[in-house]
């Protein structure tokens, strides 16, 4: 097992029988998931994806990644939400948050189309000057405004720089197999295209071409990533008593019912920062509906102990923490003696820095639990591809089970449409004329 759930710090927060008591409900939710008769059951392709994926397309992803590597200094990844976060999270964890500044034989990667800031886009455009570029545009619907706007700009840049024919060879599309503006454009222009399966929703799509192409282009081993997810798929069909994924879903629901409003996922390595963002989308969009759901939040310690630590220790008792404990960091650093010892840190001489980080983790768990904050611990072997594949599947399945226990449809996101309608109306998009005047009257 690449991941182990450690519940030993929960004794003061859970009655002896509580997990046992909720086991039946958890297994019932898991059965609904496996029997495919729950809400949103058209979107369960991710459940068997690690073993049941298109092998021909997988091979094509690896070929395209090799081509991108040969043709580009910079890969522009265009996408938002589920069409963005997973790839970035994986690359920053597997490679580094400093990926673009590392000496390597893979292109730098910049992510655009995940916001509408003209400053951000102009800055990426200026970084691209004088460099060879490839673009991977990702949108399942093919109609999302943010990526469509960014793609329009990068398509023109490539066509102006290379001419239409060469530009086509540098544009890779990941979208629906049959529908949407992007699919139509890809077919008309002859871009190489990859498919987001109909039955896999955006935030569950990191193990499709959505995540796999950028991850492979960054030089990560996607075979190992899928192998790790496949091992988790097998492990997490076990009965509740041996199933850490089901237990985690159950614990979240227990704390929610006890009145906790917030889950804070915590890691002690900044390379997990974007994984935190991926987790927040997965759980926020899946569970936050019908006026229900834990609010997913995150922190990187010890960094955020110097900003959020006071609140967690002493503020309103509304949260529990899920601590991701990486047992083996990618690298270590040996601490040597200093002749002067002006900083008084010679008591650490002869230690590895990972030991200091571990003591910080242990000390913080003890402090926070004593302060009344339940701490669930997820122990991860390391940050290699297999382990990440396992972690992705763990969070996805726990999210679906947890959502069914909450009684919501974990696979839709109706609330996301509200801002879009207002934005389109205010921008004067045809078809939104009536709304425009009404909204403008409300603006100050």
The CB-of-259 to ligand PA5 minimum distance in angstroms stands at: 28
Minimum distance, C-beta of residue 25 to ligand PA5, in the bound complex (Å):
26
Residue 96 class from Cβ within 10 Å (0-12 exposed, 13-18 middle, 19+ buried)? Answer: middle
For ligand PA5, the closer of residues 45 and 81 by Cβ is 81
Strand partners, 171: 135
**Torsion, CA 89, CA 60, CA 236, CA 284, rounded to 10:** 40
Buried b (16+ CB within 10 A) or exposed e, 362-379: eebbeebbeeebbbbbbb
- Whether residue 92 contacts residue 273, with contact meaning beta carbons closer than 8 Å, is answered with yes
Catalytic residue, chosen from 146, 192, 277, 285, is: 285
Is residue 71 reached through a cis peptide bond, with omega within 30 degrees of 0 on the bond before it?
A: no
* Other beta carbons less than 10 A from residue 208's beta carbon: 26
Nearer to ligand PA5, 287 or 321 (CB): 287
CB 85 within 8 A of CB 281: yes
Nearer to ligand PA5, 106 or 136 (CB): 136
Which of residues 108 and 146 has its CB atom nearest to ligand PA5 in the complex? 146
Q: Which is nearer to ligand PA5, 286 or 387 (CB)?
A: 286
Minimum CB distance to ligand PA5, residue 122 (Å): 22
Q: Which residue is nearest to ligand PA5 (CB)?
A: 202
Considering the candidates 306, 336, 417, 444, report the single residue annotated as catalytic.
306
Taking the complex as a whole, the smallest distance from the CB of residue 231 to ligand PA5 amounts, in Å, to 25
Nearer to ligand PA5, 147 or 288 (CB): 147
428: tokens are 């004067």
Nearest distance from C-beta of residue 413 to ligand PA5, angstroms: 6
**Residue 154: Cβ within 10 Å count:** 24
Cβ distance to ligand PA5 smaller for residue 40 or 309: 40
CB distance 389 to 228 below 8 Å: yes
Is 433 noted as a catalytic residue in this protein? no
Judge whether 104 counts as a catalytic residue: no
Nearer of residues 108 and 277 to ligand PA5, judged by Cβ: 277
- Nearest approach, Cβ of residue 191 and ligand PA5 (Å): 16
Q: Do 189 and 47 meet the contact criterion of CB atoms below 8 Å apart?
A: no
Q: Which of 177, 328, 420, 421 is catalytic?
A: 420
How far, in Å, CA of 239 to CA of 253, rounded?
A: 18
Is the sign of the CA dihedral 235, 387, 109, 163 positive or negative? negative
- Min CB(293)–ligand PA5 separation in Å: 15
- Shortest Å distance, C-beta 113 to ligand PA5: 9
Residues that bind ligand PA5 (CB under 6 A): 80-83, 139-141, 144, 147, 201-203, 285, 413
Decide if 368 is catalytic. no
Active site residues: 285, 306, 420
């Amino acid at each position: 097992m690449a991941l182990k759930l450690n519940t030993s710090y929960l004794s003061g927060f859970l009655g002896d029988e509580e997990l046992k008591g909720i086991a039946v409900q958890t297994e019932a939710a898991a059965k609904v998931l496996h029997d495919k008769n729950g809400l949103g059951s058209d979107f369960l392709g991710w459940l068997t994806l690690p073993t049941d994926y298109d092998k021909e397309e997988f091979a094509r992803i690896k070929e395209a990644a090799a081509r991108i590597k040969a043709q580009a200094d910079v890969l522009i990844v265009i996408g938002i939400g589920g069409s963005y976060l997973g790839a970035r999270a994986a690359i920053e964890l597997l490679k580094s948050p400093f990926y673009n500044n590392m000496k390597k034989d893979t292109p730098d990667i910049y992510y655009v189309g995940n916001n509408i800031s003209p400053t951000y886009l102009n800055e990426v455009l200026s970084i691209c000057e004088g460099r060879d570029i490839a673009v991977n545009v990702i949108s399942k619907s093919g109609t999302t405004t943010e990526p469509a706007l960014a793609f329009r700009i990068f398509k023109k840049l490539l066509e102006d720089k290379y001419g239409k024919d060469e530009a086509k060879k540098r544009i890779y599309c990941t979208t629906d197999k049959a529908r949407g503006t992007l699919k139509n454009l890809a077919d008309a222009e002859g871009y190489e295209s990859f498919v987001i399966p109909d039955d896999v929703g955006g935030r569950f799509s990191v193990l499709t071409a959505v995540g796999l192409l950028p991850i492979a282009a960054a030089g990560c081993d996607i075979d190992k990533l899928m192998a790790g997810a496949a091992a988790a798929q097998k492990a997490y069909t076990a009965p509740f008593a041996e199933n850490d994924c089901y237990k985690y879903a159950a614990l979240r629901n227990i704390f929610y019912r006890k009145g906790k409003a917030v889950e804070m996922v915590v890691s002690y390595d900044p390379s997990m920062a974007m994984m935190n963002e991926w987790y927040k989308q997965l759980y926020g969009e899946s569970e936050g509906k019908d006026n229900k759901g834990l609010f997913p939040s995150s922190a990187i310690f010890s960094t955020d102990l110097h900003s959020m630590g006071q609140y967690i220790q002493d503020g309103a008792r509304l949260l529990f923490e899920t601590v991701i404990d990486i047992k083996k960091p990618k690298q270590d650093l040996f601490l040597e003696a200093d002749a002067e010892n002006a900083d008084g840190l010679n008591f650490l001489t002869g230690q590895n820095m990972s030991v200091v980080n571990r003591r910080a983790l242990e000390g913080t768990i003890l402090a926070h639990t004593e302060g009344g904050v339940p701490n669930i611990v997820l122990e991860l072997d390391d940050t290699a591809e297999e382990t990440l594949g396992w972690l992705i599947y763990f969070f996805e399945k726990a999210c679906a089970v947890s959502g069914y226990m909450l009684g919501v449809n974990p696979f839709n996101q109706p609330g996301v449409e509200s801002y879009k309608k207002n934005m389109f109306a205010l921008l004067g998009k045809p078809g939104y004329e009536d709304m425009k005047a009404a909204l403008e009257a409300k603006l100050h």
